[in-house]
Amino acid sequence: MYGLVNKAIQDLVCEKFGKDKWAEIKKLSNFEDDFFIGLQPYPDSLTYSLVHNASKVLGAESNIIMEAFGEYWILYTANEGYGEMLNLAGNSLPEFLNNLDMLHNRVNNIMPELVAPQFSTRNETPNSIELEYRSKREGMTPMVIGLIRGLGKRFNIEKIQITHIQEKNETNGCHIFKIEW
Ligand code: HEM
């Protein structure tokens, strides 16, 4: 994944737990450079390793870390030069969720090696929507939950409920989340 993702993990850990904890996580993950380059692709295994070791060092389950990371990503990207892209993706939660592929397509122009997930929506009502999530990667669903929570905050939604209503398997090919507010 692009270094921007690893940088965001670093920022989240440093902000909430301090630089010493980050140094431990970085060491356990065998990452020896001083910093990540946002626009450089790194192996997915490094990102998985950072999350795994953050879980060990901080004493929190990987799922919890991934979810917190997803929520943080919405604020982080807005502050790292992608605010305009986020603005263009929509003014309401359903509109934004409908435009996620367009958003990643725009990111793809800047990051040609991006392996982006795909999203589509269905069964929209005035206070709920279902989000289909397709990815070449495994284990990212807690991040999706955190991302949706972060978007809920972005759109000042006070109470949001996210239910993972379909697990991906070989037949259906996608995870589905029901989002209610
Ligand atoms: C301007 C804002 C955003 C930027 C710059 C961005 C960029 C990225 C990047 C660089 C990756 C790593 C993939 C790779 O390097 O191959 C990624 C992955 C991902 N993005 Fe975005 N993204 C943005 C917003 C969002 C939003 C709002 C969502 C909400 C659902 C989202 C969902 C995901 C997910 C779930 C992944 C994990 C990879 C996977 O599932 O395969 N992203 N994105």
User: 50 CB under 6 A from ligand 1?
Assistant: no
- The reply to whether 106 and 166 lie within a common domain is yes
Residue 108 lies in a domain: yes
Tell which atom from ligand 1 comes closest to the C-alpha of 150. Answer: 27
Domains in the chain, number:
2
- What percent of the chain is predicted at pLDDT more than 90? 100
Domain with 161 in it: what CATH number?
3.90.1520.10
- The reply to whether 159 and 103 lie within a common domain is yes
pLDDT for res 7: 98
For residue 51, what are the domain limits? 3-60
Mean pLDDT of 151-157: 98
- Residue 9 pLDDT grade (very low, low, confident, very high; cuts 50, 70, 90): very high
Domain boundary among 42, 60, 78: 60
pLDDT for res 81: 97
Residue 77 lies in a domain: no
pLDDT for res 25: 98
| 115 neighbors 107 (Cβ within 8 angstroms) | no
Distance 72 CA to ligand 1 centre (A): 12
Q: Please tell me the residue having the least CA distance from ligand 1 atom 12.
A: 1
Domain boundary among 18, 38, 60: 60
3 state SS for 12-49:
HHHHHHCHHHHHHHHHHCCCCCCCCCCCCECCHHHHHH
Residue 164 lies in a domain: yes
User: 1 CB under 6 A from ligand 1?
Assistant: yes
Give the tens place of pLDDT for each residue, 109-149. 999 999 999 999 999 999 999 999 999 999 999 999 999 99
Tell which atom from ligand 1 comes closest to the C-alpha of 144. Answer: 35
